[in-house]
Homo-oligomer: A and B are copies of this chain.
Amino acid sequence: MTRSGSDIKVAVDAIVFGYSKQEGVSILLIQRKYPPFKNAWAIPGGFLLPDETLEDAVRRELREETGIEVNYLEQLYTFGAPNRDPRQRIISIAYMALVKSSLFQQLKASTDAENAQWFNFRELPPLAFDHKAILDTAIERIRTKIRYQPIGFELLDKKFPFADLEKLYIALLGRDIDRRNFSKKMLALGILDETNEYAKPEGKGRPSKMYQFNKKRYQQLEREGIHFEI
Chain A interface residues (CB < 8 Å from chain B): 1-11, 45-54, 60-61, 64-65, 75, 77-78, 80-82, 89, 91, 93
Q: Among the interface residues A1, A3, A64, which one has the most CB atoms of the partner chain B within 10 A?
A: A1
User: How many chain copies?
Assistant: 2
Instruction: Say how far A51's CB is from chain B's closest CB, in angstroms.
Output: 5
- Tell me, in angstroms, the Cα distance from A29 to B7 when the chains sit together: 29
Instruction: Say how far A3's CB is from chain B's closest CB, in angstroms.
Output: 6
Tell me if B46 and A2 are in contact (CB < 8 A). yes
Instruction: Say how far A204's CB is from chain B's closest CB, in angstroms.
Output: 37
- Tell me, in angstroms, the Cα distance from A99 to B91 when the chains sit together: 27
Q: A2-B64, A4-B48 are in contact. List 12 more A-B contacts (CB 8 A).
A: A1-B45, A1-B46, A1-B61, A1-B65, A2-B60, A5-B47, A5-B50, A6-B9, A10-B91, A48-B80, A50-B89, A53-B81
- Tell me, in angstroms, the Cα distance from A89 to B53 when the chains sit together: 10
- Tell me, in angstroms, the Cα distance from A74 to B59 when the chains sit together: 27
Question: What are the residues of chain B within 8 A of A53 when measuring CB–CB?
Answer: 80-82
